[in-house]
Chain A
Amino acid sequence: MSTFQTHDARILEVKELTSREKLFTLRFVDPEINRNFKYKPGQFVIVDIRGFGEFPISLCSTPTREGYFQLCIRRVGRMTKYVHELKEGDIVGIRGPYGNGFPMETMEGSNLVLVAGGLGMAPLRSVLWYALDSGKYQHIYLFYGTKSYEDILFRDEITHLLKHGEAMNCTVKLAYEVESPSCIYLEKGFAPKVCKGVVTDLFRGEEFDVTNTYALICGPPVMYKFVIRELLDRKLSPGRIYMTLERRMRCGVGKCGHCIVGTSTSIKYVCKDGPVFTYWDALSTRGLI
């Protein structure tokens, strides 16, 4: 079977997360393919809408929960608009998983600081669940910056962790930009974990042992600079800061050239050398962030 052939996957459930994002739970039609589908947090798949085209999307479920996988898809263009019209039982094509993923094993026994901005919550949710399920990490911090209450992805899970996170060694903090009655309610209930501001405001008051901490970042391009500065100020090594990046990926396997970044001294394909890079990679490869 060709590298570019996709496998049928059935939509088991469609859940509306916000007015723009939907969560699709899928399973491969062929049970054998389903059994062999192994992935790591941070990897992505290519979704094939036959007759419309393909697009890459990160996996937002965790491999610790088997038998299905989930994709959080924002409606931004022609293809995602079509996907948003799909219903339970419909079939899409999937190929992958692609990319390197987060080095979950290397990070075992350490603190994880997950910093998510907007849709960046999707790939980090995979890490979050993986870390919670495996119980192999010391303390997990999730700093999540969102536009407004309505834009919070996985709101029920976030609220659950705001309430009960500490018992699972997990601190969840939320920053929102646009005020609304719901936010104020949240803020009242969970102060100081919920506040008005940007994601870097959430670092305030949190101390972590930098020799035993990894930071994992995903968010809009503008966010990286500020978050990284915050982490570097705390003397976190550039090799302990992981970021997952977005590019126009067409093939997913390092052929089509759209995701090439870097200069003459270091050229990288985001699809196969990434999408997870360290901050050191960004220092040595121009144009990464």
Chain B
Amino acid sequence: MRYVKLPEENFEEFFNSLKKWGNVYAPTKQGNIYSFKKVEELSEVSLDYNRTMLPPKKFFVRPKDEMLKLKGKKWEECNGVEKIVLFGIHSCDIHGLQILDKVYLEEPADPYYKKRRENSIIIGISCMPDEYCFCKSLGTDFAMSGFDLFLHELPDGYLVRVGSVKGHEIAWENENLFEDVSEEDLKNFRAFEEERAKAFKKALNKEGLADMLDLAFNSPVWKKYEKICLGCGSCNMVCPTCRCYEVCDLWTNAYESVRIRRYDSCFMESHGLVAGGHNFRPTRLDRFRHRYYCKSYFDPSAGFNCVGCGRCDEFCPAKIEHVKVLDEVREALE
């Protein structure tokens, strides 16, 4: 890793320089909700945000995505990939993207996802946890890779970790804006990280989590939550690692059709339905439990399918808390 310092007074100039690499998307405040939007000026950006409603997956796996266009009985690719700079992504969301990478870039790679990933620059930013965050328990509170540049807040600017060749190129082109890192900066960086570590209010007990859950297949806790859960699928939409999609063809006019895919949710009854009407997950209990199993699956090379961003808790209309559910399941088993 290469480390440089971006002093506060150069920050705006650095931000403006990013536009030459692509359209800049950054967290902006919309009412009470933060959201990644295309920005022109630094003044539009809210870097002091907790979490956006939709995670950055929306740039790569779109809520509604055109795949192929039908022209004269032949499918044509829907072309055009925008070059983007995602500015101000939190560490948990970077981990989320890496989990998506694992699925979507594995052969055969998803061509749309791959092209968009190749045309994006990821610039991370450090954050302070709020009452929903539990990324520390999952080890996703610090990104070791998956970004081009990562900005760590210092009292007088940012300590910048350069994570890729592209990141190096950006730093190199703006050489005059950066300084060397001093001992003082490192001290401040460590102090920030320590303060941050102490600020977590929520923790997930992940010890033997996968086996514990497997044994708790018939736990009464699932039955309790079946009644509380509204089955709306909002947790799936806002989750940085949920990526189920449904495909359908739409006619745009009498001669042209387009094949689109859109987010699907395992809370929908149709998710496990097959031809002939048999449903492999017919009840809400089956579907509720399935999501927890999917999120708590541990992949030795990618970790858990959950990054502890807290979105599912914050945006759940029934106020179901992910960590609390898992704790209760564990308690009922012991």
- For residue B251, CB closer than 8 A to chain A, the reply is yes
Of A133-141, A186-194, A206-214, A244-252, the one contacting chain B is A244-252
Contact between A3 and B214, CB atoms less than 8 A apart: no
A97: chain B residues at CB < 8 Å are none
- For residue A37, CB closer than 8 A to chain B, the reply is no
Contact between A265 and B214, CB atoms less than 8 A apart: yes
B248: chain A residues at CB < 8 Å are 53
Contact between B244 and A258, CB atoms less than 8 A apart: yes
Contact between A246 and B274, CB atoms less than 8 A apart: yes
Nearest chain B CB to A254 CB, angstrom units: 7
B296: chain A residues at CB < 8 Å are 264
Contact between A255 and B103, CB atoms less than 8 A apart: yes
**Binary flags per residue of A1-15, CB closer than 8 Å to B gives 1, else 0:** 011111000000000
Contact between B246 and A256, CB atoms less than 8 A apart: yes
CA separation between A254 and B292, bound complex, in Å?
Answer: 19
Given the known interface contacts A2-B77, A4-B111, A264-B298, the answer about A250 and B217 at a Cβ–Cβ threshold of 8 Å is no
A246: chain B residues at CB < 8 Å are 274, 278
- For residue A287, CB closer than 8 A to chain B, the reply is yes
CA separation between A55 and B274, bound complex, in Å?
Answer: 10
Contact between B249 and A50, CB atoms less than 8 A apart: yes
Contact between A267 and B275, CB atoms less than 8 A apart: no
Nearest chain A CB to B151 CB, angstrom units: 32
CA separation between A55 and B276, bound complex, in Å?
Answer: 13
Nearest chain B CB to A147 CB, angstrom units: 13
Given the known interface contacts A2-B111, A247-B280, A248-B272, the answer about A262 and B293 at a Cβ–Cβ threshold of 8 Å is yes
- Report the contact-size class of chain B (Cβ under 8 Å from the partner): 35 or more
Contact between B245 and A250, CB atoms less than 8 A apart: yes
Contact between B109 and A53, CB atoms less than 8 A apart: no
> Which one of A54, A55, A265, A287 contacts B211 once the chains associate, using CB atoms below 8 Å?
A265
B70: chain A residues at CB < 8 Å are 50-51
B244: chain A residues at CB < 8 Å are 256-258
Contact between A251 and B275, CB atoms less than 8 A apart: no
A253: chain B residues at CB < 8 Å are 108
CA separation between A254 and B106, bound complex, in Å?
Answer: 9
- Report the contact-size class of chain A (Cβ under 8 Å from the partner): 35 or more
A250: chain B residues at CB < 8 Å are 245-247
Contact between A3 and B247, CB atoms less than 8 A apart: no
**Binary flags per residue of A207-223, CB closer than 8 Å to B gives 1, else 0:** 00000000000001100
Contact between B247 and A54, CB atoms less than 8 A apart: yes
Contact between B251 and A53, CB atoms less than 8 A apart: no
Helix, strand, loop or mixed for chain B's interface?
A: mixed
A263: chain B residues at CB < 8 Å are 210, 213-214, 217, 293, 297
B104: chain A residues at CB < 8 Å are 255
Given the known interface contacts A51-B70, A256-B264, the answer about A6 and B275 at a Cβ–Cβ threshold of 8 Å is no
Contact between B264 and A257, CB atoms less than 8 A apart: yes
Given the known interface contacts A80-B275, A251-B247, the answer about A5 and B68 at a Cβ–Cβ threshold of 8 Å is yes
CA separation between A5 and B211, bound complex, in Å?
Answer: 40
- For residue B156, CB closer than 8 A to chain A, the reply is no
CA separation between A286 and B118, bound complex, in Å?
Answer: 37
CA separation between A246 and B275, bound complex, in Å?
Answer: 9
Contact between A260 and B75, CB atoms less than 8 A apart: no
A6: chain B residues at CB < 8 Å are 75
> Which one of A3, A50, A256, A260 contacts B109 once the chains associate, using CB atoms below 8 Å?
A3
CA separation between A52 and B247, bound complex, in Å?
Answer: 10
- For residue A205, CB closer than 8 A to chain B, the reply is no
- For residue A31, CB closer than 8 A to chain B, the reply is no
- For residue B67, CB closer than 8 A to chain A, the reply is yes
> Which one of A220, A251, A264 contacts B210 once the chains associate, using CB atoms below 8 Å?
A264
> Which one of A51, A248, A257 contacts B274 once the chains associate, using CB atoms below 8 Å?
A248
Nearest chain B CB to A28 CB, angstrom units: 15
CA separation between A260 and B264, bound complex, in Å?
Answer: 13
B106: chain A residues at CB < 8 Å are 254
**CB nearest to B210 among chain A residues:** A264
CA separation between A77 and B278, bound complex, in Å?
Answer: 13
**CB nearest to B272 among chain A residues:** A248
**CB nearest to B256 among chain A residues:** A51
**Binary flags per residue of B51-76, CB closer than 8 Å to A gives 1, else 0:** 00000000000000001101001010
Contact between A247 and B210, CB atoms less than 8 A apart: no
CA separation between A40 and B211, bound complex, in Å?
Answer: 35
CA separation between A124 and B271, bound complex, in Å?
Answer: 27
- For residue A76, CB closer than 8 A to chain B, the reply is yes
CA separation between A74 and B136, bound complex, in Å?
Answer: 51
Nearest chain B CB to A78 CB, angstrom units: 10
A251: chain B residues at CB < 8 Å are 245, 247
Closest 4 CB pairs of A and B: A257-B244, A264-B210, A51-B257, A264-B296
21 contacts between A and B (CB under 8 A): A2-B111, A4-B67, A6-B75, A50-B249, A50-B257, A53-B249, A53-B259, A54-B247, A74-B276, A246-B278, A247-B274, A253-B108, A256-B247, A257-B244, A258-B264, A263-B217, A263-B297, A264-B292, A264-B296, A265-B213, A287-B290
Contact surface of B with A, Cβ cutoff 8 Å: 67-68, 70, 73, 75, 77, 103-104, 106, 108-111, 209-211, 213-214, 217, 243-249, 251, 257, 259, 261, 264, 266, 270-278, 280, 290, 292-294, 296-298
Contact surface of A with B, Cβ cutoff 8 Å: 2-6, 50-55, 74, 76-77, 80, 91, 93, 220-221, 246-248, 250-251, 253-258, 260-265, 267, 286-287
Known: A3-B110, A76-B275, A264-B213. 11 other contacts (CB 8 A): A4-B67, A4-B68, A51-B257, A53-B259, A220-B278, A248-B272, A255-B243, A263-B210, A264-B292, A265-B211, A265-B297
